[in-house]
Chains A and B, each alone.
Chain A
Amino acid sequence: DGGITQSPKYLFRKEGQNVTLSCEQNLNHDAMYWYRQDPGQGLRLIYYSQIVNDFQKGDIAEGYSVSREKKESFPLTVTSAQKNPTAFYLCASSIAARGGKNEQFFGPGTRLTVL
Chain B
Amino acid sequence: GQNIDQPTEMTATEGAIVQINCTYQTSGFNGLFWYQQHAGEAPTFLSYNVLDGLEEKGRFSSFLSRSKGYSYLLLKELQMKDSASYLCAVNSNSGNTPLVFGKGTRLSVIA
A102 x B91 contact (CB < 8 A): yes
In the assembly, what is the distance between CA of A99 and CA of B31, in Å?
10
Number of A-B pairs whose CB atoms are under 8 Å? Answer: 66
A103 x B45 contact (CB < 8 A): yes
In the assembly, what is the distance between CA of A35 and CA of B41, in Å?
13
B43 x A106 contact (CB < 8 A): yes
In the assembly, what is the distance between CA of A95 and CA of B41, in Å?
22
Of B42, B50, B95, B102, the contact of A90 (CB 8 Å cutoff): B42
Q: How far is the CB of A3 from chain B (nearest CB, A)?
A: 10
Interfacial chain B residues near A90, Cβ < 8 Å:
42-43
B48 x A101 contact (CB < 8 A): yes
The size class of the interface chain B forms with chain A is 20 to 34
Interfacial chain B residues near A48, Cβ < 8 Å:
97-98
User: 12 more A-B contacts (CB under 8 A) besides A42-B103, A96-B95?
Assistant: A41-B103, A42-B102, A43-B101, A45-B98, A90-B43, A95-B96, A96-B94, A99-B95, A100-B94, A106-B43, A109-B42, A111-B40
**A104-B94 contact, Cβ under 8 Å, with A42-B87, A90-B43:** no
- A contact residues vs B (CB 8 Å cutoff): 30-31, 33, 35, 40-43, 45, 48, 50, 58, 88, 90, 94-96, 98-109, 111
Interfacial chain A residues near B97, Cβ < 8 Å:
31, 48, 50, 102
A30 x B96 contact (CB < 8 A): yes
| Minimal Cβ-Cβ distance residue in A for B43 | A106
Q: Mark B79-98, 1 if CB is under 8 A from A, else 0.
A: 00000000101010011111
The 10 closest A-B pairs by CB, nearest first: A31-B96, A42-B103, A106-B42, A43-B101, A99-B94, A50-B96, A102-B91, A45-B98, A42-B101, A106-B43
